[in-house]
Structure 1
């Protein structure tokens, strides 16, 4: 049995969307970050960094944190959501890594400095506004010639990016000027598993 430990967050949504897309049975454990449950010893034994999501596979005794690793594991376990043809496979992995190293961290910092920092730090706000606009342009350019990030097939690369783009849309971070990125967002958002995944374990505001 798969056990997913998560909360309502862009990184958590990646795991719930993937599990729903793959129709895998799993047990959902709601780790309530606002109540400090991610800092409790039981959770820290699963991820010493205290971050969600965490996936534990009782059949293999494999425990994973970091959403990109979880997506790769689920794709490998099922043989789905990751192309088998080498060029397309590495294209998907490339964009998955682009998300993990660029999109996720940059949007996370932008959200922090614009919405949660106790005092506004204008240089930081301007920096992350500029950097997120740049990576949105990169995604828009890539999607101008393909339906999904790895080509014509939906993959874990799309799931990874959607988690943060969903939150960006909810909080009013406008990327409508990037028409290819916006069209991709609507295609992915319309998938039944995606619509369900962003409500687990509880919907983010506006989901």
Structure 2
């Protein structure tokens, strides 16, 4: 059994997408980041960066004590290796998946996240910041569109953790001020993943857990007012 410490963010969706694809048994432990639950001492023991998602695998390969992990990319890689699914076993195929997994972790996710912040949540519009992150998100969409021009999935012929990592960050494309019609290969890939039963199941779980995904002023203070001093426990 896997305990998944989760909230309904793009990084959280990555892990539920994988778990629904594989059928691994898991229990969701909601961590309402809008209420500051990510700062609870028990959660910080598992996720010292006070971010979701995190997991505790109570049945790791080879047995022994439970394994805990934080960081969505590390979790996807761990689960892929645990199950032998959604990552190739050959050297070149594995390298393709890993480079695109890290591309999402280091580029698409952080840049789209800053896009979300300055476009939607900043207390006043900052045109330079909005242009910077909307344009960089657009550039990254273009990278993905070119990549998908001659292959069905990000790493090649097979669906992989690289696709699972990127897809949730494309879901809010309208809020990111992006038009999928400008990226036809990306659009085709996006709709193909959206139609997968496991993707639909993962997003249905999200709707069950967070039925009011709006951002209150108190939530903004919790999420965007973090420093080393006020998050120390």
Question: Which of the five TM-score ranges fits, normalised by the shorter chain?
Answer: over 0.9
2:41 alignment counterpart: 41
RMSD of the alignment, in Å? 1.5
Q: Secondary structure at the match of 2:166?
A: helix
How far apart, CA to CA, are the structure 1 residues paired with 2:87 and 2:207?
27
1:30/1:201 contact within 8 Å kept: no
Q: Please list every run of 5 or more consecutive structure 1 residues that lacks an aligned counterpart in the other structure.
A: none
Distance 1:23 1:137, change over 3 A: same
Instruction: Encode CA deviations 1:128-168: one digit per residue, 9 max, x unaligned.
Output: 11111111100000000100001010000000001111133
Normalising to structure 2: TM-score of the pair? 0.84
Structure 1 stretch displaced more, 8-17 or 80-89 = 80-89
Structure 1 stretch displaced more, 17-26 or 165-174 = 165-174
Q: Secondary structure at the match of 1:29?
A: strand
1:175 aligns with 2:148: no
1:10/1:167 contact within 8 Å kept: no
Q: Secondary structure at the match of 1:200?
A: helix
1:108 alignment counterpart: 113
2:55/2:75 contact within 8 Å kept: yes
1:13 alignment counterpart: 13
Within the candidate set 165, 169, 190, 1:164 is matched to 169
1:32 aligns with 2:32: yes
1:13/1:200 contact within 8 Å kept: no
Instruction: Encode CA deviations 1:66-103: one digit per residue, 9 max, x unaligned.
Output: 10000000000000000112212111111101000000
2:191 alignment counterpart: 186
2:55/2:68 contact within 8 Å kept: yes
Within the candidate set 143, 148, 153, 1:148 is matched to 153
How far apart, CA to CA, are the structure 1 residues paired with 2:174 and 2:115?
14
How far apart, CA to CA, are the structure 1 residues paired with 2:205 and 2:181?
26
Q: Secondary structure at the match of 1:55?
A: strand
Structure 1 stretch displaced more, 42-51 or 18-27 = 42-51
Q: Secondary structure at the match of 1:28?
A: strand
2:134/2:177 contact within 8 Å kept: no
Normalising to structure 1: TM-score of the pair? 0.94
Distance 1:170 1:197, change over 3 A: farther
How far apart, CA to CA, are the structure 2 residues paired with 1:116 and 1:199?
25
1:68 aligns with 2:80: no
